[in-house]
Amino acid sequence: MTNSDAPLTGQVAVVTGSSSGLGRAIALAMATAGADVVVHGRLNRSGAEETAQQIRDRGRQCLLLMADLTDEATHESLVDNAWAWQSGVHIWVNNAGVDVLTTAHRDRSFEEKLELLWQVDVLATMRLARMIGKRMVARAAERTPSPPGLILNIGWDQVEHGMAGESGEMFCAIKGAVIAFSRSLARSLAPHVRVNCLAPGWIRTAWGDQASEYWQARATRESLLARWGTPEDVGQVAAFLASPGGAFVNGQTIAINGGFHFG
């Protein structure tokens, strides 16, 4: 395999929430592109181990770390352990988020769901990104030969125009905060670390698999490509942004939705 086939060879990527879904697809895309990967999970250890095995099957090294990101005490240890594994991290993807639509959390009140989303999707993203960003900048200041750092956060394409209903109100507020933070962090860490935000649209994850006919129709109607996106679509964009081809993309929110169609 040539360097062009595996442009991330020699780099370490961390993907939070990579025991399934988007996180697994992003982790596997990074491994396919040549990176060694730190897989993170909270409770789904078997899923995290499956992701790790698929990474090893691709000929890459993998470290599995379990941490409950609702507990702030775990954040620093997660960064410490990931960094220590191979003496540094080049790519950090804050993918972990709370599923309040298909798990037992769906029966919680609006306020309880919002608090959970705040703890993981916003607060953990901000704290982890700031911690790893400082280390990446310090490494650059030491002039240690290494590719520039990259941090990817996860937003949502609907933030730009809004979505009616309880879920829309919650996710637009939460992911809007992530997008705004990402733009500011890109300025804070420049020029040593790039920060971008992925904004997936209708992606067929666990919720999409059980969505009603109304949502199935809406998902395909609202994409110019007239289909659901896949986790692999998101993973490929993440891997591109980490590659030399994405080296001049910074401070951006990348919609991954096939082109949003109003109407």
Distance CA 113, CA 169 (A): 11
Residue 102: what pLDDT?
Answer: 73
Q: Is the dihedral of CA 242, 244, 247, 252 positive or negative?
A: negative
Residue 62 in contact with residue 37, Cβ under 8 Å? yes
Q: What is the pLDDT along the chain (263 residues), one digit of tens a residue?
A: 456 689 999 999 999 999 999 999 999 999 999 999 999 999 999 999 999 999 999 999 999 999 999 999 999 999 999 999 999 999 999 999 988 777 778 778 899 999 999 999 999 999 999 999 999 999 998 876 677 899 999 999 999 999 999 999 999 999 999 999 999 999 999 999 999 999 999 998 877 777 788 888 888 898 999 999 999 999 999 999 999 999 999 999 999 999 987 75
**Phi, psi angles (nearest 5°) of residue 87:** 60, 45
Q: pLDDT at position 3, please?
A: 63
On the CB side of 166, CA atoms within 13 Å amount to 11
Q: Which tokens belong to 13?
A: 């990527």
pLDDT at 5: 83
| Three-state secondary structure of the chain | CCCCCCCCCCCEEEECCCCCHHHHHHHHHHHHCCCEEEEEECCCHHHHHHHHHHHHHCCCCEEEEECCCCCCHHHHHHHHHHHHHCCCCCEEEECCCCCCCCCHHHHCCHHHHHHHHHHHHHHHHHHHHHHHHHHHHHHHHCCCCCCCEEEEEECCHHHHCCCCCHHHHHHHHHHHHHHHHHHHHHHHHCCCEEEEEEEECCECCHHHHCCCHHHHHHHHHCECCCCCECHHHHHHHHHHHHCHHHCCCCCCEEEECCCECCC
pTM of the predicted model, to two decimals?
0.94
Domain map of the chain by residue range? 12-256
Q: Taking the CA of residue 187 as centre, how many other CA atoms within 13 Å lie in the half-sphere pointing to its CB?
A: 4
In CATH terms, the fold of domain 12-256 is: Rossmann fold (3.40.50)
